[in-house]
Amino acid sequence: MPGVDSTFESTPGSTGGAAPAVEIDGLVKRYGSTTAVDGLTLTCARGAVTAILGPNGAGKTSTIEICEGFRRPDGGTVRVLGLDPADAALRPRLGIMPQTGGVPPAARAGEWLRVVSRFYAHPLDPGTLLGLLGLADHARTPYRRLSGGQQQRLSLAAAVIGRPELVFLDEPTAGLDPQARHACWDLVAALRASGVSVVLTTHQMDEAEKLSDHIVVIDHGRVVAEGTPESLTGAERQLRFRARPGLDLEELLAALPPGSAAKESPSGHYIIEGQVGPQLLATVTAWCATEGVTTEDLRIERRTLEDVFLELTGRELR
């Protein structure tokens, strides 16, 4: 079978001891004439949860599969725990959850997890893990008869059973029901609390915001923004309220301090931006009172990660 010859540049003298979980510099990956990853540079710290966020086709899976050693880059360097991703010494140290599949359809859930556990020196107990992930009653069920959420949870169990140092989760909660999603979030929190580094991809904002220490937003194969959830959403605040559709925003703006902005999006939902403080709040409510408008859900909040994301990656469908 093909050898595992590597085309990566090597970094002399790297021992891997204190290296970051993942270090990517100028990564390029092409499929034919399509450039999926276009000079991507990012670092994922040890012991932290890093979320790679981006729309479909942004290059998330290509990037993570290169880190997992499944694909070779066309350019740039990638180091995982200080090592070349193709290095066999990495295999016991990594836990991976692919986006789909990887399990023989006829294999029984419990038996398959037990077989995977036998590949590791100090595995977690498969039975315990199945129980915690709500799969105890399905230990004898063939993989193909499990629901989508059950399949994802089994895959998640296999990713952590070998007690890895670094876990890659590729869209771990895609298509999950709320219970399964929370089970996944709890597991990521437990990994973080146990000092395991986690790199996950998602296009769900709440997931990235809730779970991660560091968020990297990528689009068209490049990093477009990164930082903590707080730093990305910024200090800027917005006043939001609901009221009957079609208020005259020109008239409202005239009453507000210069530099304010107001929009109705979607219909009946109003967002006011600017120097959001007690003065602006009082002005808006006073104006509503003179107009005879009852506001609902009036609140001041930071921009959501979703706002930031749409700003960075655009609103057009693709």
Given candidates 10, 31, 175, 190, which one binds other proteins under the rule CB under 8 A?
A: 190
Q: Which stretch binds other proteins (CB under 8 A): 34-42, 159-167, 199-207, 299-307?
A: 159-167
Q: Residue holding tokens 């602006």?
A: 280
Cβ closer to other proteins: 155 or 233? 155
Greatest Cα-to-Cα distance within the chain, rounded to the nearest angstrom: 79
Strand, coil or helix: 29: strand
Binders of other proteins among 78-97, rule CB under 8 A?
88, 91-94, 96
Q: In residues, how long is the chain?
A: 318
Contact between 107 and other proteins per CB under 8 A: yes
One of 154, 176, 187, 208 touching other proteins (CB under 8 A): 187
**What dihedral do alpha carbons 240, 241, 242, 244 form, nearest 10°?**
-110
Asked if residues 124 and 117 have their Cβ atoms less than 8 Å apart, the reply is yes
Judged by CB under 8 A, the residue of 31, 45, 119, 282 near other proteins is 119
DSSP secondary structure string for all residues of 232-270: HH-S-EEEEEE-SS---HHHHHHHSPTT-EEEE-STTEE
- The answer to the question of residue 135 lying near other proteins (CB under 8 A) is no
Nearest CB to other proteins, comparing residues 122 and 315: 122
Q: 52, 152, 160: which is closest to 99 by C-alpha?
A: 152
Kindly tell me which residue out of 6, 45, 115, 242 binds other proteins, with binding defined by CB under 8 A.
115
Residue nearer to other proteins on the CB measure, 106 or 310: 106
CA–CA separation, 314 and 225 (whole Å): 13
Q: In sequence order, which residues have a C-beta less than 8 Å from that of residue 197 and are 6 or more positions away?
A: 21, 44, 45, 46, 47, 48, 49, 50, 165, 166, 167
Q: Which is nearer to other proteins, 170 or 219 (by Cβ)?
A: 170
Query: Which of 17, 18, 121, 315 touches other proteins by CB under 8 A?
Result: 121
CB closer to other proteins out of 193 and 235:
193
Q: Decide if residue 10 touches other proteins (CB under 8 A).
A: no
Among 9, 38, 111, 206, binds other proteins (CB under 8 A): 111
Cα gap 276→298, rounded to integer Å: 13
Q: Which two tokens stand for residue 237?
A: 């605040």
**What SS3 class is residue 223?**
strand
* 195 touching other proteins, by CB under 8 A: yes
Contacting positions for other proteins (CB under 8 A): 1-2, 68-70, 88, 91-94, 96, 98, 100-107, 111-112, 114-116, 118-122, 124, 128, 132-133, 160, 162-165, 183, 186-187, 189-191, 193-196
